[in-house]
Amino acid sequence: MTANRACPAKGIAPLTMRVVLREFLKHLRLASSATHVRSIPNRGPCLLIPLESRERSGGRLAAQWALDRAEDVSRSVTQLFLGTYMVWDARRQRLTENYFATHDTQGRPLAALPTQAGGGHE
């Protein structure tokens, strides 16, 4: 069996992407209303505007910004609901209590409990 080999495109892909990006930016400018305060949950939308264009992108950026904010609110409400449910369900299942009944504070399993006479099957 042959050993795993590196992807053949591993060396050429970054070089190709740099060349493509350089050519791309010769003809277009980029504009975005995405916030960069954490990983990009809104997929980082971006407007591509031809350099020769005299058109203002303010209206499109404002619409993009409004849609991003609406998605932020929707995402936040969903995270609040699901997070609350997770905590409620964990408490209901008594996960921490069950774990520490069988493990010490360092995460090591406690010594096995002695079995009852008769094998414990009744």
Query: Which one-letter DSSP state was computed for residue 4?
Result: P
What pTM did the predictor assign? Answer: 0.51
pLDDT at residue 54 in the model: 80
pLDDT at residue 122 in the model: 47
Using CA atoms, how far apart are residues 45 and 47, in angstroms rounded to an integer?
A: 7
Query: Would you list the domain boundaries of the chain?
Result: 12-108
28-85 pLDDT, tens digit each: 988 888 776 667 666 778 888 888 888 777 888 898 889 888 888 998 999 999 999 9
Q: What is the DSSP string of 31-62?
A: E-----SSS-TT----EEEETT-----HHHHH
